[in-house]
Amino acid sequence: MASKTTNTNRPWINSYPKGISWDSELDLSPVHETILASCDKHGEKIALDFMGATTSYASLGSQIRAMAGALQKDYGIKKGSRVAILLPNTPFFPVAYYAILLCGGTVVNCNPLYTTNELSHIIGNAGADLLITVDLEVVFEKAEKLIERGDIKKTIVGHFPNVLSGAKKILYKLLKGKELSKWQSSANANKISAFEDLIEKNITPEPVNIDVKKDVAVQQYTGGTTGIPKGAMLSHANIAANLSQIQFWGCGVFEPPAKVVAVLPFFHIFAMTVCMNVPLSRGAQVIMLPRFEMKMMLALLKRTRPTILPAVPTLTLAMANEPKATSELLSSLKLVISGGAALPNETRAAFAKKSDVLLAEGYGLTECSPVVTCAALLEPSKPLSIGQPLPKTDVRFVDLEDEKKFVKQGERGELVVKGPQVMLGYFNAEEASKNAFVNGWFRTGDVGYIDEDGYCFLVDRIKDLIICSGFNVYPRHIEEAISKHEAVDEVTVIGVKDEYRGEAPIAFIKLLSGKTVSEDEMKIFLKEHISKIEMPREIFFKDELPKTLVGKLSKKELRDEYAKLNE
């Protein structure tokens, strides 16, 4: 495999969106420096809106600096220190995140919905001694268990009512006080400090010399749906490069008075970059919700009139199917960016009936900080495409049987990536890091092809590929076919062992409310859309399909469920 890529291998260059150059010079300044400069520049403009409570850029900057000073002086956080964040979307998150980076520390993002055992693995693997969390009992109880188990030595806790507006703060304490942990009376109280107390100390942080290409800014753990989670080491340059790439790609769309909805969780790499780093670096307003709940989402749209909505396909579909999410309510939006999972064409079509806002699909991976390709953000792109590579990003497709061999344009292969946003490797996992690359190209595990204009199309994940009687069967193709049925809301297809064919597809379907379809009726419908070899061996109808916290349909639970049924 040749490491040098010529322009003939970059067909996207001649069909790039107007105003964007592939070889743009990227700003690799550490992201915390960029954000603090933005805070100094934009002063009293609103940086954060959390359920009506606002934080100015000036206040955000002072809180970041004060927290960094406290982390250095009181906790000894320095270059290389791993600090875990266990927080939902609240103003505590960006303050903690940028403060850790300002100290030279490494952010270890943790999902609050993970079990204590899962959190224990991540924190133990990372070697994080300090955890930053919130006193919501549903979250804090896990933090306390980690302290009791010895996984964490010290914890910083934010008081949730303090990030609410005045009236909501009082009402929350009166009506929902039981949802708060009384950590001051905990047996571990001597190991816990209040977030607000550290800010009030107003300690000026000591400067830290950052090597942007070697120092790890974020150690982001992969979802672990196919094994034990691994920590992708993302350098300051990786994070900064992706921030700069997206800014170029946006052509000013993130500039004030832009308002970005942050309902996707910041601890997820997509939201961390697109909902937090990018808008705050430009002086835009970030409007947060702690979780997706339709009533709160509708209220947010009405109250704030946002301009950009980063979403996952299930959120987009929920909005399309919600009668109260009217065209008028969505009319302030200038852009919806879909990521985190493949965007079904049916979901795109359903949303288009509700709103004419541009719906742009992007593609990325944890290991790529995360964005690799994206549809144009100011003009329509080719349907079903994940767009073109971002500036300074190279992509190719390699043979599924011989990863050292590039396939020709239009032929299917595994997508491989090179670019300044690609991780340094996995933490303490030399073999996994080695296997993740081939001749310097990062292996994504996604199957697809590139066309003559440099638009990339994905057909499936390698791990989801089903081999039926020697033929390649792609679950996504079957899912797309099933989604064409008017009664189908959501669908997931998995591969299972089959004595006759080796493997066979199995479909799990959630129908729209009030709709009924039998297995036989669905198979008759599918005969017109898929081949005999692709026909699901069995079809199960379920009231709900399992999802990850960010709304991606999850196949892991269905594989486990099916295995138990056939023990």
Q: Tell me whether residue 230 is in a domain.
A: no
Report pLDDT for 7. 64
Residues 83 and 35 reside in one and the same domain: yes
What 3-state class would DSSP assign to 422?
coil
* 479 domain residue, yes or no: yes
Whether residue 1 lies inside any domain: the answer is no
Q: 239: phi > 0 → left, psi -120 to 50 → alpha, else beta; which?
A: alpha
Contacting residues for 322 by C-beta, under 8 A, at least 6 apart? 294, 298
Instruction: Answer yes or no: do 94 and 199 share one domain.
Output: yes
User: Token pair of 230, please?
Assistant: 């691994």
The pairing of strands 466-468 and 471-473 is antiparallel
Q: Which of 106, 103, 62 shows the shortest CA–CA distance to 84?
A: 106
pLDDT value of residue 1: 45
- 231 occurs within a structural domain: no
Residues 336 and 441 in one domain: yes
Do 177 and 107 lie in one domain? The reply is: yes
CATH number of the domain to which 201 belongs: 3.40.50.980
- Phi first, then psi, for residue 297 (nearest 5°) are -65, -45
pTM for this one?
0.89
Residue-by-residue pLDDT tens, the chain, 567 positions: 444 444 678 999 999 999 999 999 999 999 999 999 999 999 999 999 999 999 999 999 999 999 999 999 999 999 999 999 999 999 999 999 999 999 999 999 998 988 888 899 999 999 999 999 999 999 999 999 999 999 999 999 999 999 999 888 888 888 888 899 999 999 999 999 999 999 999 999 999 999 999 999 999 998 543 457 899 999 999 999 999 999 999 999 999 999 999 999 999 999 999 999 999 999 999 999 999 999 999 999 999 999 999 999 889 999 999 999 999 999 999 999 999 888 888 899 999 999 999 999 999 999 999 999 999 999 999 988 999 999 999 999 999 999 999 999 999 999 999 999 999 999 999 999 999 999 999 999 999 999 999 999 999 888 788 888 778 788 988 999 999 999 999 999 999 988 778 889 999 999 999 999 999 999 999 998 888 889 999 999 999 999 887 888 889 899 989 998 887
Together in a domain, 427 and 537: no
- Statement to judge: residues 450 and 484 lie in one domain: no
pLDDT the model gives residue 68:
98
CA angle in degrees (0–180, nearest 5) for 309-29-59? 60
Residues 418 and 486 in one domain: no
* Alpha carbons 133 and 110: distance in angstroms, whole number: 10
* Cis check: omega of the bond before 257, within 30 degrees of 0: yes
CATH code, domain with 538: 3.30.300.30
Is residue 457 domain-shared with residue 469, that is, in the same domain? no
Task: Please state the domain count of the chain.
Answer: 3
Dihedral, CA of residue 309, residue 311, residue 313 and residue 319, to nearest 10: -50
Asked if 421 and 274 sit in the same domain, the reply is yes
DSSP per residue over 377-412, as a string? SSS---TT---EEPTT-EEEEE-SS-TTSBPPTTS-
Is 321 domain-assigned? yes
Q: What is the pLDDT of residue 226?
A: 43
Specify the pLDDT at position 223: 58
Residue finishing a domain among 461, 486, 508: 461
At 274, which CATH number? 3.40.50.12780
| Together in a domain, 316 and 186 | no
The domain boundary, picked from 419, 446, 461, lies at 461
Domain that holds residue 504: 465-565
Cis peptide before 370 (omega within 30 of 0): yes
Q: Biggest alpha carbon distance in the chain?
A: 70
Residue 227 placed within a domain: no
Which DSSP state fits 277?
A: I
20, 52: one domain:
no
* Residue 228 falls inside a structural domain: no
Give the rounded distance of the alpha carbon of 365 from its chain centre: 8
The DSSP 8-state label assigned to residue 105 in this structure reads -
Q: Are residues 63 and 156 in the same domain?
A: yes
Q: What phi and psi values does residue 468 have, to the nearest 5 degrees? A: -110, 115
The enclosing H or E element of 457 equals strand 456-461
For residues 308 and 262, what is the distance between their CA atoms, to the nearest angstrom?
A: 9
Question: What is the pLDDT at residue 224?
Answer: 45
Domain final residue, candidates 209, 244, 267: 209
Q: Is 73 part of a structural domain of the chain?
A: yes
